[in-house]
Amino acid sequence: QVQLVESGGGSVRAGGSLRLSCAASEYTGSDYLMGWFRQYPGKEREGIAAIYTTAGSSFVADSVRGRFTISQDNSNNTLYLQMNNLQPDDTAMYYCAADGPVRATIATMTSLLEDNYNYWGQGTQVTVTS
C-alpha cells in the first residue's frame, strides 16, 4: 500500500508561488495515476491536476490551468505541484492521491475524479492573503 506525504504548504501573499511536494513510499514512476486535489471548508474535494506516470501525460483543471503545473521526479518518487500567481481563492487544503497499477496512459478530465484514487495523503494547507 502506497503511503503519501505532502509538504510545501504555507501562507503566501497574492501573486506569490508555492511548490507542493508529495513523497511516495514506493516507486510510482510507472503504471500509476497520481493527482492533486484541494478542498475548501465544508466542500467536497476538487481534482485540479493529474498525471499518468508511465508516459507523463498530464491534465490540469480549467480553474488553475496556466498557473499550476504538475510534474514528477521518478528518481525520488516525488510528485510536485508548482503553483504560480496564487490568489485568495486558492486557499484550501491540498491533497496528493495515487492509484496503481493502472493500464491507462493518457490523462483527461476524468482523471480528476476522486473515485479513480485509492491512496491519499494527509493534506497540506495553503493560505493566500490579499
Percent of the chain with pLDDT over 90: 88
pLDDT tens, residue by residue, 13-68 = 999 999 999 999 999 888 999 999 999 999 999 999 999 998 899 999 999 999 99
39 or 75, greater pLDDT: 39
Q: How many CB atoms lie within 10 A of CB 90?
A: 21
Sheet holding 78-83, edge to edge: 4-7, 18-24, 78-83, 68-73
Contact call for residues 19 and 126 (beta carbons, < 8 A): no
**So what's the pLDDT on residue 30?**
87
Residue 127: which of 6, 4, 8 has the closest Cα?
8
**CA 64, CA 99: separation in Å to the nearest integer?**
22
